[in-house]
Structure 1
Amino acid sequence: MKSRIQNIFLTLLLFLGGIITAQTVNVGELFITSGTTMSTVGAMDNKSSGNLFNDGEFILYSHYNNDGLVSFSSGSHSGITRMIGSTGFQQISGTMPMQWNDAEFKNNSIQPAFHLSNEVSISGTADFKQGIIDDDEYGGLLVFENKSKHINVSDNSHVDGKVQKSGQEDFTYPIGDKNKYRFAGISAPKEILSSFTGKYFFEDSNALYPHSQKTKEIVLINNQEYWTLDKTAGNSDVMLTLSWDETSTTPADILVSPQTSIHIVRWDEAQNRWIDEGGVVDSDKKTVTTPVNVSGYSVFTTARVDDGIVLPCSTLTVFNAVSADGDGKNEYFKIGGLTECSADNTVEIYNRWGVKVYDTVNYDSNGNVFRGYSEGRTTISKNEMLPTGTYFYIINIKYSGTTPQVIKKSGYLYLTRN
């Protein structure tokens, strides 16, 4: 009881506007209520017996160690922890994970500004104003919980190391390496208990994952950067998005025209080689996305692939807009020249979560065209009208010439209902 009273007294002292310059130690219960600000200039140490609940504003100008409980009240969304430094790096350490609602990282005195050796989970918004969080060198982990997000990520403020995302929303990883922010993104998993961990490496993957060991359609593998994505909880799978930056990290020979040849490739440990995961390029956003859920996890990077042999037909024309509104225009997904190329073809369409909503063989041979309804042998919600949005298509064209091959084309499809 004595320690509890002592901590309540200390809390009141700080709430009245004082700033403690020496180390602040909590051994009992410390509550920062909504609308209240607490600041520490010296290091903050929450001992194993300490319970710290932050529903207000907690400003730390130095290190933050936790060996007890750091959290916020159930149902509260008002708490924010501000790591603000000006005289050197700030350690975020301890033996017990911390649970923060909102967070602000702002330290322009040194890079990396934050040495993360503990696990910190964010339930609200993390604001990356200034300073890199290094959990790679120090063994920590930054976790974004379900419905959490981040803002203001840049070369000057991101995570150098691993970031874990839990929940069922799509997510862009605020990751980088060697002072370069190079994000990766995932589509929304179907299960709320899903968890995926991402990391970026600004280095050549060839020494660990030989670029000479690859499937035949892969022509050139990015030799300056790679990412890892691991499934750490749940059974859901995701589509993966990788970014590029022609001014700093991504080799120019990967980005040459046509950019449709840029795909995502994955190192397959079972096959001991790189395999093609496909790619839908968005040149404006400088990203490439797998058209469907990835077939496995671990190591990924960008590459150029051979689009295949020249088919004995005119160039395919894909009309990637479907407006199923009954006006007679763009009523179905039209693919000009497909039958001329090969009657032996398949068409698959997936939603933004990587779920197949349409498939057929020998497309448009007997009225089997995509009109905005879920149809196929293995699709969900059969015969239901699909919602307005962006979908992905995959066209597989089987060519049985002198060298039989399957040519795969993929891209975005836009569906509107009115």
Structure 2
Amino acid sequence: MYLENSYEPKDTPIHNLNPLVKFLIFLLIIFLLFLKITFLAQGVIFLILLLVIKYSDSQEWIMKHGVPSYLFLLGFLFMVNFVFMKSPGFWTENALHGYKDIFGRIGAHHTTGEDKVKHGWFFGGHLLKTSSSQHIALKSSAKCIERIIGWTSSCCSTCSTDSYTLPSTGKWRIVPINVNGDVKYTAFMPAWYTISSFQIVNTFSLANKIIIVIILSSIFTTTSPMTSFTYCLEDIFRPLSAIKLPAKLMALTVAISLRFVPSLITESFRIIRAQASRGIDYKNGKFVDKVNALRSLFIPVFVISFLKSDELAAAMTARGYRPQENRTSFRIYGVKGWELLVMFCCTLVISCLYYLHFNHYYLSSFGNAELLISIAS
């Protein structure tokens, strides 16, 4: 699947689906992925993705490009989380107030007088606990935590006189915990080899979202020609004409911009090869040298983009194109009954996922994984 000539004409249900229906479903899923959705919602989206892959005849591309990309994302994101996210993931019992298990096996959570800190599994590191009750320290002020771990000697009004067990060596990290809009603090001393379920859960969650976006975007571009996408944009922008905005011009501008992307990429590679033959090295050397070398790439591409724009404007003017006039369409993209059914089913499923997210539902069958995604910090 390439940027240039990415459309692959096939006779599949996804290819024949109305482009506006495809694009609206695509947007609904993308907006949902920007939220902190649980593994249950991600699993449902994966099922939708599998159906899209099957009925778009994209299995070969998935095995060749999708699976290796997903494995690379898992490895890369785990290394990033391993280095920068040294935390087992903390939440409190009172923070669970308002969260509900989908099948009602746990029941509703209620606030308690003493707010106890919960955390995910971890290997390596130390928690800040009291010497007597072995409860994890939870303070409303970061200064209290700083006094306990010895960063400062000053004390605030909320500091207690409890004694705490402190390791002799190591560096503490103060962790803020969101408790129903209120921020409280605890501390964790990680080791260099600290591995936690919080790292693993975040790795899989982010990798799942990225690969879903990549696959859906690739399938959309390979099953929708640019002409149909232009009409799709016109339909989306059409309500804006009620407030005197040029909807057709906006759709045309976006479509032309997308058409320019592959041609400019081709020109960029051509310029890179031409400049490399003249002795310009884009890969080796210091950072300043690489920046100076990139100037010989960006300036020609910038000039070429203006030249192509001027040529396109001259060609459209020579053909008598007037964007303010109403134009007839050679292709009619009507909506059939089965397309409305697909739109209704997908919208219903995605709306249910939005409802579960905004009403704080989770599935306790996944253990702490759902909580680590939703409320842990």
Q: Shorter-chain TM-score: what band? A: under 0.3
- Which structure has the bigger radius of gyration? 2
- Give the TM-score of the pair, scaled to structure 1: 0.19
Larger strand share, 1 or 2: 1
Larger helix share, 1 or 2: 2
- Give the TM-score of the pair, scaled to structure 2: 0.21
